[in-house]
Amino acid sequence: MAVYRSRNALAGPLTPDSLATVTLPRTPPGRRGYRPGDVDALVHRLAYELHDRIRERDQALAENQRIKNALRAWQSARVADEAWPQPGAEQPTTRDGFA
């Protein structure tokens, strides 16, 4: 897929401000509108950028879920270890001296 490369407005990553300032070249005199090749190139660039951002977001969400699952497993293991003291270990006592 070809990526739109402008000499001015769309250099670097796309932002809302850079898109708001885009001016596509007009067709030659006698025709109305914009040159279809330039419009197609811009649409392909936007699709590429959107796909890339969605991929990055999905990777971040997957990493976030992996970390949450690891934290839950660690917390569960820690609670299980504290709930059942090992034989021979000292039992915690309260201020009254009772367990």
The pLDDT assigned to 66 comes to 97
The pLDDT assigned to 68 comes to 97
Cα distance between residue 91 and residue 99, in whole Å: 7
The pLDDT assigned to 37 comes to 84
Cα distance between residue 36 and residue 24, in whole Å: 10
Cα distance between residue 39 and residue 47, in whole Å: 12
Cα distance between residue 2 and residue 40, in whole Å: 10
Low-confidence stretches of the chain (pLDDT beneath 70):
1-12, 83-99
The pLDDT assigned to 8 comes to 47
Question: How many Cβ atoms are within 10 Å of 10's Cβ, its own excluded?
Answer: 21
Confidence (pTM): 0.55
Q: With beta carbons less than 8 A apart as the criterion, state whether 24 and 35 touch.
A: yes
